[in-house]
Amino acid sequence: MTLSHHTTADSLAPTHDEFPQSDSLASVLRHVGDTGYRFTTTTPLTHQRLLDYRGGEPGTTLRDVFGWNLPFLAGAVPPELLDLMTHAGILVRRGAFLKSTLRIASLDDLLFTHSAFPTTDQAAVFFGPDTYRFVRFVQSHLPAVISHANTDVPLRLLDIGCGSGAGGIAVARALRRAGLVVDATLNDINQIALDTSALNAQHAGVSVNLALGDALDSVAGDFDLIIANPPFLDDAQQRAYRHGGAGLGRALSVRFAADALARLAPGGRLLLYTGVAMLDGTDPFLAELTPLLAAAGCEGSYQEIDPDIFGDELSRPIYAHVDRIAAVGLVATRRRVAV
- Burial (CB count <10 Å: 0-12, 13-18, 19+), residue 324: middle
Q: Is residue 208 part of a domain?
A: yes
Please name the residues in contact with 18: beta carbons below 8 A apart, sequence gap of 6 or more: 3
Which residues on neighbouring strands pair with residue 324, listed in sequence order? 278
Predicted pLDDT at 3: 26
**16 lies in the same domain as 153:** no
Q: Please indicate, yes or no, if residue 63 is contained in any of the structural domains.
A: yes
- Report how far residue 100's alpha carbon sits from residue 4's, in angstroms, rounded to the nearest whole number: 11
What three-state secondary structure class fits 228? strand
| Ranges of H-type helices in the chain | 22-34, 44-54, 62, 79-88, 129-140, 142-147, 166-177, 191-204, 246-249, 251-261, 284-296
- Select from 87, 115, 143 the last residue of a domain: 115
Distance CA 296, CA 332 (A): 10
Tell me: the pLDDT tens digits for 253-296? 999 999 999 999 999 999 999 999 999 999 999 999 999 999 99
Does one domain contain both 145 and 107?
no
Asked if 36 and 149 sit in the same domain, the reply is no
Using DSSP, state whether 246 is helix, strand or coil: helix
Residue 264 is assigned to a structural domain of this protein:
yes
Q: What is the pTM of this model?
A: 0.91
**Helix (H/G/I), strand (E/B), else coil: 216:** helix
Q: How far is CA 82 from CA 91, 199, 205, in A?
A: 9, 19, 24
Residues 24 and 158 placed together within one structural domain of the fold: no
The list of the chain residues with pLDDT below 70 reads: 1-21, 338-339
Query: Is residue 314 packed enough to be buried (19+ CB in 10 Å), middle (13-18) or exposed (0-12)?
Result: middle
CA distance 280 to 284: 10
Query: Is residue 271, in this structure, part of any structural domain at all?
Result: yes
Residues 156 and 71 in one domain: no
Domain-located, residue 297: yes
Q: Residue 7's pLDDT is what?
A: 25
Of 173, 109, 177, the closest CA to residue 186 belongs to 173
Let me know if residue 190 belongs to a domain. Answer: yes
Q: What CATH number should be reported for the domain holding residue 329?
A: 3.40.50.150
Same domain, 178 and 318: yes
3 in any annotated domain: no
Sign, CA dihedral 22-24-28-29, equals: positive
* Residue 143: predicted pLDDT: 97
Are 154 and 20 found together in one domain? no
pLDDT score for 8: 29
288 shares a domain with 209 = yes
* pLDDT tens-digit readout, 34-64: 999 999 999 999 999 999 999 999 999 999 9
Length of the chain, please?
339
Q: Can you give the residue range of the structural domain that contains 330?
A: 129-334
70-79 in b/e burial notation, b at 16+ Cβ within 10 A? bbbeeebbee
Which pLDDT value is given to residue 18? 52
**For the chain, what is the domain count?**
2
Q: What local confidence, expressed as pLDDT, does residue 293 receive?
A: 96
Answer whether residue 2 is part of any domain.
Answer: no
Distances in whole angstroms, Cα of residue 332 to Cα of each of 89, 116, 328: 43, 35, 13
